[in-house]
Structure 1
Amino acid sequence: MTDPDRERPAEADDEQPVDAEAFYEALDARGRPVVTAAEVAAALDRPAGVVDDALSGLESDGDVGRLDVRAAKTAWYAPGRADADERITVFEKRRDVIVDQPAQYTRALLTQFAHLENTNREGGYVYTVREEDVWNAPYATFPELVSTVRSALGGRYEAIEEWIEGQWERAHKFRLATHEDGYVVLEAKSADLLGNVAEPRLDDGVLRARMGDETAWVAEDRTAELKRTLYEAGYPVQDDRELETGDDLPFDLDLDLRPYQADWIARFADSGSGVLVGPPGSGKTVAALGVMADVEGETLVLVPSRELAGQWHEEILERTTLSPEQVGEYHGGAKEIRPVTIATYRIAGMDRHRSLFDSRKWGLIVFDEVHHIPSPVHRRSASLQTKHRLGLTATPVRETEDQEEIYTLVGPPIGTDWEALFEAGYVAEPEVEIRCLPWASPAHREEYAASDGHGRRQAAATNPAKIREISAILHENRGSKAIVFVEYIDQGDAIAEALSVPFISGETPHARRSRLFDRFRRGAVDTIVVSRVGDEGIDLPDAEVAIAASGLGGSRRQGAQRAGRTMRPVGKARMYVLATRGTEEEDFARNRTKHLAARGVRVRETEPVAVVDPEDASATPDGGGVGFEAER
């Protein structure tokens, strides 16, 4: 067969003009009203640089419109043309936005200032603009924020914009600052705010004395309490304190920063504190090293596990000019306080160790997996004295709905939209599939029906039909590195035995766990089964496939963390969520992938590959009688 690409010169596409007609064809091909230059280039099969230059020329002629949004790339649209597939309906009084068939670009914009409330199978998305969404919007000025609002909604909506502006102003009513004599001061925009809002709500002793009509002296050890109380009252507090720092610690980086990582570092330098929010694989650890180099102060890194402490240690020594004598670990396996110290949250919060950390004047504290901070065990570490606080997370959501405390205890969000990193090729966008399976046998279905509460959830989660579906998925993706996540130890053992692969759980000895993870990283093992120990705090690069076999009753954050194990620039990236049909697992599967959908990840439901006939007499309680629909 003749290759059609060989029948024309390679540079032929480059020579074809990108005119308005070609641009409109690209719009029609993409099925949306707004596109990036890269999408036009892909639709027309032209170089992205050529297309970008051509679109700039068409803009000057009035044939093409430009949208410049701080949180996303430049996008282009055809003035006066509407999209038939993507329909946006705005309910101004309720501040609800309903979008049918939203493009990834639109979802990425909406995520900057709205909360995804719900999705349905038909491709409908329901967003709500809440107070905290405006307070935590990643913008330095209100005009930047409103520009994104207009781009996402396709026009101006005065009622919503006025409400957003009011919330923006509320977030700038109170400010913590350092007095020239060294103590902490609360500054209010007016005397009424201090006297009628702050003072009545704060407990005795938080404000030590009035200093003026609009200022008060704050008890230094109760600043976190002050910020949390006023936040709950609807008034986020800007923290502009000048805190003391320890000895200088200058060093250089042995790495090249991506443009968005350099932007994160610059934005952190402007604010002095904040939380880097980006998808797994986007290089938040590398950006944190850049922040450390920029701060040039002694640094405490807090992590949830010893494994992650070791990974940080290796990363610091490999990517910076810091010497081994300058970097230490402090946890159950080591007790070293150095200019850069990596400790676990649990150790840092224990009374008998806390004085060691309190006595040091840190220039920076890095809170890895910062979504843990609101929990009682980890909250104590947030009050450690430091000049700068940096949080790292892909998923700042918590089922207890106290995620806003992440920003009050550490700092405002700093990050980029996931869609931009997917499109630029820095991170592989995962394909998320939900597969609902029938029961392995009538006996298993009857066991479920006879159970209640936790027993019902466990019966659905451990449906043996999942073992054959996992085997089928691995066969579909043969040659790819895969992680199977489970909630229950017995299920993990059963899957591992059926697949002849390792199972890693909290019961696995630390040394063996480290060896198995290392073998997985090196490719000596291409499939592993893990319990919750693998949800976070362990670096598993190059995992192209993630399978959630159970644990769907967990959190949205857990679902995003598991999908995130595939988010690396390695080509394809896939996550499969398995649920037992006709049980509450179905709803859990949809709800727990909602956070991914809000971040621009496409989630779809597909039919299982393995066939299970629950009426088959040969079906056995251990999952027998299950066969493949076809050899793939």
Structure 2
Amino acid sequence: MKAINTKALIIQNNGEIFFRSDHQEAKIIQPFLSQFAQLMKSPSTIHIYQLSPFSVWYALDQGVTIDEIKTFLSSFSEGSLPEKVDELLNSWGKRGNKLEMKVLDDVGPCLLSKEKGLLSVLLKDNKERIIQGAEKEYMKITMEERGTLKQILIKKGYPVSDHLGIEEGDPLYVSLKDGVTLRPYQKEAVESFVDPKGMKEGNGFIILPCGSGKTVVGLGIMQEIQEDTLIIVPNDSSLQQWYRELLEKTELTSNEVGIYTSEMKEVKPVTITTYQILTYHSDEHTFPHYHLFHDRKWGLVIYDEVHLLPAPMFRITSNLQGKRRVGLTATFVREDGKEGDIYSLVGPKRYEVGIKELESNGWIAKPLCIEVKIPLQEKQWEKYLQLSKRDRFRFASENKEKLGVMEELLQKHKGKQILIIGQYLNQLEKIASYFNLPLITGQTKKKDRQLLFDAFRSGKVETLVLSRVANMAIDLPDAEVAIQVSGTYGSRQEEAQRIGRLLRPKGKGNEVIFYTLVTAMTQEEEVSSHRQLFMLEQGYAYEWEEWTPCS
């Protein structure tokens, strides 16, 4: 039985905050908590947030004070505020108000420090450019240096408040079609970007679970900005999805929406391109498609799946600080730990909502995740044990016994829309051939790929076999079942992206099933547990089944 005076928050010395989402004061607490802490895990009714310098610094820029954060945590948490957390907040608070960029009269764009001598310490290679005034210390900068300096300084523990302003883009009338309405959380996400309390220049990223309509949020922002827009996406499939959504959900026409790829180079008021095109370079210093950023006066740049922003893109992004920038993502996890680069170059977190909240309101389907453990046949063990660790993983992933499991699952879910997803092309080709199913890989021609996706959406094709193209931004809203036959070695993002292919609300019971087939007692099972732990922390439920072949 719950104690009457149980508080909603428990604060750990390392800055973790345990939040009881079923607490009677949860609806009051959660909005303010999310302003200065990052949602990391939501395994059940206990949601785990993390205090970090990034989350606190950007809360400060929105007008929140350190004292307000301390008072809030003390008021709603059990016990007193840990001394270590108090010290961290004080340290971040002091650093968060030290540096800013703004235009000084008769000087131009400058980087200023409120603490004399600080710039000389942080930017030793630029000492000769630093001017010591009576009351301030500053360095004249160019607009091209703006992003690079912010990136350097945030890595040294000092964020920069950027007040240099943004460029206005060419005007463009954007309107959602009649009948297209934003859900409440989508409206909140749009408002968080177009009307922020701080950093009014307009930049930042929005975190929404897979299947929750990130593309529609992007369209909503475009409707508010009403200026030419550049949209950068991870692959051709997501490019086609954006193109289709723009024409289906807005009053924009094909004359106003262009596609910029290796095959088609259209630069129009709204232009969609890929990270790969923009980061292609013929040598170390030349980006032949870089001019795309400058051919038009873009009023808005949208980064789809912003957590994937590749390293070469940072160099180009650093020169985009004068434009409105919004990143859309379902997870802010990067395997290389470079979240700070995205914070400094794209902007702060503007909005976040968790999977549990959307599930409870019926906005996304409730996924049931089932891991099916499959034995390795005795004659295969000797070969398996002779392999290296990584080779063992692939050998187990391509366990031929998985065909038997798939045959049972396809029969069990006959009549439903099914995706079969895997990592290894040889394995997928064998599956497609064995069950006489269409296969889509990175080598599938764009036209053929689109025809198969359209056939799946219309119901003419009930089952598709997909390679890693299934990981990114493919809109297949009718998928009810997914069978993962193999996955990437240790990627935490991948499982979320693949499950996300199923999360569009279905209406009939609103439940979908995600099977992952794993060879028991092998390297594959070990790696799979790493991915699943991350998913359990995000609020997904798993069940485990053991499979034995019929005699």
Q: Match for 2:517 among 578, 589, 606?
A: 578
Contact 1:178 1:241 in 2 (8 A): yes
- Gaps (5+ residues) in structure 2? 281-286
Change (3 A) 1:445 1:429: same
C-alpha separation between the residues in 2 aligned to 1:298 and 1:327? 10
Other structure's SS at 2:399 match: coil
Change (3 A) 1:457 1:320: same
Q: Residue 220 of structure 1 corresponds to which residue in structure 2? A: 143
Q: Match for 1:210 among 131, 134, 144?
A: 131
Letter in 2 for 1:223: R
Segment drifting more, 292-301 vs 490-499: 490-499
Contact 1:368 1:392 in 2 (8 A): yes
Q: Residue 368 of structure 2 corresponds to which residue in structure 1? A: 431
Task: Give the CA deviation at 1:471.
Answer: 3.2
C-alpha separation between the residues in 1 aligned to 2:76 and 2:481? 32
Contact 2:100 2:161 in 1 (8 A): yes
Q: Match for 2:545 among 603, 607, 616?
A: 607
Letter in 2 for 1:249: L
Task: Give the CA deviation at 1:489.
Answer: 0.6
Task: Give the CA deviation at 1:487.
Answer: 0.9
Change (3 A) 1:211 1:503: farther
Superimposed CA distance per residue, residues 133-163 of structure 1 (whole angstroms, 9 cap, x where no aligned partner): 5456799425775688569855542425524
Other structure's SS at 2:511 match: coil
Superimposed CA distance per residue, residues 423-474 of structure 1 (whole angstroms, 9 cap, x where no aligned partner): 11111232223333211x2222222111114321210111122222233334
C-alpha separation between the residues in 2 aligned to 1:82 and 1:230? 38
Q: Residue 242 of structure 2 corresponds to which residue in structure 1? A: 312
Change (3 A) 1:80 1:115: closer
C-alpha separation between the residues in 2 aligned to 1:295 and 1:217? 31
Q: Residue 268 of structure 1 corresponds to which residue in structure 2? A: 193
Superimposed CA distance per residue, residues 194-243 of structure 1 (whole angstroms, 9 cap, x where no aligned partner): 343x333xx449x9553742432223222222112111111222333312
Q: Does 1:325 align with 2:250?
A: no
Other structure's SS at 1:80 match: coil
* Mapping 1:62-73, distance limit 5 Å: none
Task: Give the CA deviation at 1:492.
Answer: 0.6
Task: Give the CA deviation at 1:355.
Answer: 2.0
C-alpha separation between the residues in 1 aligned to 2:71 and 2:455? 48
Contact 1:363 1:386 in 2 (8 A): no
C-alpha separation between the residues in 1 aligned to 2:219 and 2:166? 21
C-alpha separation between the residues in 2 aligned to 1:145 and 1:467? 55
Q: Does 1:284 align with 2:214?
A: yes
Q: Does 1:352 align with 2:297?
A: no
Other structure's SS at 1:291 match: helix
C-alpha separation between the residues in 2 aligned to 1:146 and 1:475? 57
Letter in 2 for 1:431: L
Identity of aligned residues (%): 33
Letter in 1 for 2:390: H
Q: Match for 1:591 among 514, 530, 546?
A: 530
Q: How many residues align?
A: 522
Other structure's SS at 1:434 match: strand
Superimposed CA distance per residue, residues 569-607 of structure 1 (whole angstroms, 9 cap, x where no aligned partner): 1111232233222222223222213443333x2333412
Other structure's SS at 1:316 match: helix
Contact 2:192 2:351 in 1 (8 A): no
Contact 1:209 1:218 in 2 (8 A): no
Task: Give the CA deviation at 1:385.
Answer: 6.1
Superimposed CA distance per residue, residues 391-416 of structure 1 (whole angstroms, 9 cap, x where no aligned partner): 11112211111122122121112233
Contact 1:301 1:367 in 2 (8 A): yes
Q: Residue 365 of structure 1 corresponds to which residue in structure 2? A: 301
C-alpha separation between the residues in 1 aligned to 2:75 and 2:436? 52
Letter in 1 for 2:544: T
Segment drifting more, 426-435 vs 265-274: 426-435
C-alpha separation between the residues in 2 aligned to 1:484 and 1:137? 43
Contact 1:349 1:381 in 2 (8 A): no
Superimposed CA distance per residue, residues 239-296 of structure 1 (whole angstroms, 9 cap, x where no aligned partner): 3331222322233222211121111111112241011110112111111111112112
Contact 1:467 1:495 in 2 (8 A): yes
Letter in 1 for 2:357: A
Change (3 A) 1:178 1:431: farther
Segment drifting more, 314-323 vs 152-161: 152-161
C-alpha separation between the residues in 1 aligned to 2:417 and 2:61? 38
Q: Residue 526 of structure 1 corresponds to which residue in structure 2? A: 462
C-alpha separation between the residues in 1 aligned to 2:102 and 2:350? 21
Task: Give the CA deviation at 1:177.
Answer: 2.9
Segment drifting more, 231-240 vs 396-405: 231-240
Q: Residue 623 of structure 1 corresponds to which residue in structure 2? A: none
The higher radius of gyration belongs to: 1
**Structure with more contact order per residue of length (Cα contacts < 8 Å, sep ≥ 6):** 2
Q: Residue 165 of structure 1 corresponds to which residue in structure 2? A: 89
Other structure's SS at 2:289 match: helix
Letter in 1 for 2:191: A
Superimposed CA distance per residue, residues 106-128 of structure 1 (whole angstroms, 9 cap, x where no aligned partner): 9x969873675999xx9999986
C-alpha separation between the residues in 2 aligned to 1:422 and 1:523? 25
* Mapping 1:32-431, distance limit 5 Å: 79-80=4-5, 91-92=12-13, 94-95=14-15, 113=37, 129-132=51-54, 134-135=56-57, 140=62, 141-142=64-65, 154=78, 156-159=80-83, 161-163=85-87, 165-166=89-90, 167-179=92-104, 183-196=108-121, 198-200=122-124, 203-204=125-126, 208-210=129-131, 212=133, 213-254=136-177, 255-269=180-194, 270=196, 271=199, 272-350=202-280, 351-376=287-312, 379-381=315-317, 383-384=319-320, 386-418=322-354, 419-431=356-368
Contact 1:550 1:578 in 2 (8 A): yes
Task: Give the CA deviation at 1:169.
Answer: 4.7
- Using the size of structure 2 for normalisation, the TM-score is 0.84
C-alpha separation between the residues in 1 aligned to 2:478 and 2:382? 40
Contact 1:260 1:416 in 2 (8 A): no
Other structure's SS at 2:366 match: coil
Contact 2:21 2:47 in 1 (8 A): no
C-alpha separation between the residues in 2 aligned to 1:504 and 1:144? 53
Letter in 2 for 1:423: S
Q: Residue 283 of structure 2 corresponds to which residue in structure 1? A: none
Superimposed CA distance per residue, residues 20-48 of structure 1 (whole angstroms, 9 cap, x where no aligned partner): xxxxxxxx7xxxx5xxxxxxxxxxxxxxx
C-alpha separation between the residues in 2 aligned to 1:302 and 1:123? 36
Contact 2:456 2:462 in 1 (8 A): yes
Contact 1:362 1:387 in 2 (8 A): yes
- Using the size of structure 1 for normalisation, the TM-score is 0.74
Question: RMSD of the TM alignment (CA)?
Answer: 3.5
C-alpha separation between the residues in 1 aligned to 2:415 and 2:210? 22
Q: Does 1:473 align with 2:473?
A: no
Change (3 A) 1:291 1:311: same
C-alpha separation between the residues in 1 aligned to 2:71 and 2:247? 42
Contact 2:41 2:537 in 1 (8 A): no
Other structure's SS at 2:219 match: helix
Task: Give the CA deviation at 1:168.
Answer: 4.6
Change (3 A) 1:547 1:145: farther
Contact 1:433 1:604 in 2 (8 A): yes
Change (3 A) 1:158 1:292: same
